[in-house]
Amino acid sequence: MRPLRTAALLAACALLATSAPATAEPPLRQVMFVGNNWDGTADVIAATGDFAGIARVNVIPDREERLREIYLNPIKLAFFLGIRNGPGEGHDQFVDDMFTTPDGTAVVASRPSFADVVSIDLATGRVKWRFPVSGFRSDHMTVSPDGRRVAVSASTSNTVHVLDITTGREVGRFAAGDKPHENVYTDGGTRLWNMSIGEVNTDLDAPWLDFTKGDRRVTVVDAATFQQVKVIDMRQRLDAFGRSDLSDSVRPVAFTPDESKLYFQVSFFNGFLEYDVAADRITRAKTLPKNPATSEDRTTWVNDSRHHGMSMNPAGTKLCVAGTMDDYATVVDRETLAEGPLVPAAKPYWATVSGDGKACVISESGADRVTAIDFATGRKITSVPVGDHPQRVRIGHVPAGWTGPAVG
């Protein structure tokens, strides 16, 4: 009888093995990461509801090691101090952009002053991998729709690097215009757009000196081969639209859900423009109110910005605009371009969409907080304190029950 029992037991085990579902991935929680540029930290807050704080992550745990490298290299030191006294407004820029890995175990961040991208283990707080960008400053990033690749602008080498988000291995790169800035994937992740902003740290800000700001263009590449598909010179499109008075330095952008329209901000302008992708032309411009208290001296505006930050609700019916130097944010109806209430905000530097799509979330870099604004009413919902000089705000995922790294 024993051999029969053994055979039956083995058969039962085999049946269980074939019928049992594969081990499920650990459940994840949707959150928001807020990059505190001058702190070198990222606040993690709820992505909906009260947007309450969950944890704070140290994005520069290797700070002393990086500073030793910089201070022993005169060229690196010159750029490090140049970032501090230029775009950093007298501060080091320790964290710019952030995205989490698909499994929620790490956050990948660009660190302008350290000219790199790092992956921070969300369980331990330690660096998992580090990628030094070409040149001397890293900037805005974007993540592919499948979450597997992250693209980062290397602003002093006019290069965009594309990395495997899990390993940090470079899978490709491409050339962009001067000072590549914003990156966006489109067409299901098959196209990658980069907007170069040119030189924004000189005092040659008068409209007639705009040509001194460098080669500013939109570069579109094939996301698999990194070969150039199209270059869009917004100077030509702006002139054809009758707005030769506007800079062609494209700042934050927002595509409609069907990607037929691109809305974008430009340097020095209190407003935004609408670009028809298929027709390859600018179709509308929206001028937003000026704050009477804002100086008209363009050299006082941070990094040539007047308005910097915009997002669109999932339905594609509302735009949220951060009026950076005018100290407000507002929700704009996309059909009529009529703005809603002006929500007071201290130097809002970015705008994104809440996890449920109902609110616009802006970073108030002048008040060290983020503020949620209802897309439906245009009214403020709540504000939450964060670290020093918040800029980028991104949706991410962490393991359910996560409350912060074990070490910082």
Q: Which of these, 195, 133, 182, lies nearest to 162 by C-alpha position? A: 133
Mean pLDDT along residues 41-66 = 97
Domain boundaries defined on the chain: 25-399
Q: Give the Cα separation of 300 and 285 in Å (integer).
A: 24
Q: Is 317 left (phi over 0), alpha (psi -120 to 50) or beta?
A: alpha
Q: For 339-360, what is each residue's pLDDT tens digit? A: 999 999 999 999 999 999 999 9
Mean pLDDT along residues 217-229 = 97
Asked if residue 11 has pLDDT above 50, the reply is no
Q: Does residue 230 contact residue 237 with C-beta atoms inside 8 Å?
A: no
Tokens of 84: 């501090």
| Residue owning tokens 């098959």 | 190
Mean pLDDT along residues 365-386 = 98
The pLDDT of residue 312? 98
Handedness of CA 57, 62, 64, 68 (dihedral sign): negative
Asked if residue 164 has pLDDT above 50, the reply is yes
Q: For 234-266, what is each residue's pLDDT tens digit? A: 999 999 999 999 999 999 999 999 999 999 999
Q: In what order do the strands lie in the sheet with 310-312?
A: 310-312, 318-323, 328-333, 343-344
Mean pLDDT along residues 141-158 = 97
Q: For 297-326, what is each residue's pLDDT tens digit? A: 999 999 999 999 999 999 999 999 999 999
The tally of CA atoms less than 13 A away on the side-chain side of residue 146 is: 9
Mean pLDDT along residues 317-339 = 98
Residue predicted with more confidence, 210 or 12: 210
What confidence category does residue 26 fall into, taking pLDDT thresholds of 50, 70 and 90?
Answer: confident
Q: For 280-292, what is each residue's pLDDT tens digit? A: 999 999 999 999 9
The pLDDT of residue 18? 42
The pLDDT of residue 16? 38
The pLDDT of residue 14? 42
Mean pLDDT along residues 206-232 = 95
Asked if residue 12 has pLDDT above 70, the reply is no
In CATH, the architecture of 25-399 is: 7 Propeller (2.130)
The pLDDT of residue 408? 43
Asked if residue 152 has pLDDT above 90, the reply is yes
Q: Give the Cα separation of 408 and 77 in Å (integer).
A: 26
Percent of the chain with pLDDT over 90: 89
Element (H, E) at 311: strand 310-312
What confidence category does residue 406 fall into, taking pLDDT thresholds of 50, 70 and 90?
Answer: confident
The pLDDT of residue 380? 98
Q: Give the Cα separation of 129 and 110 in Å (integer).
A: 12
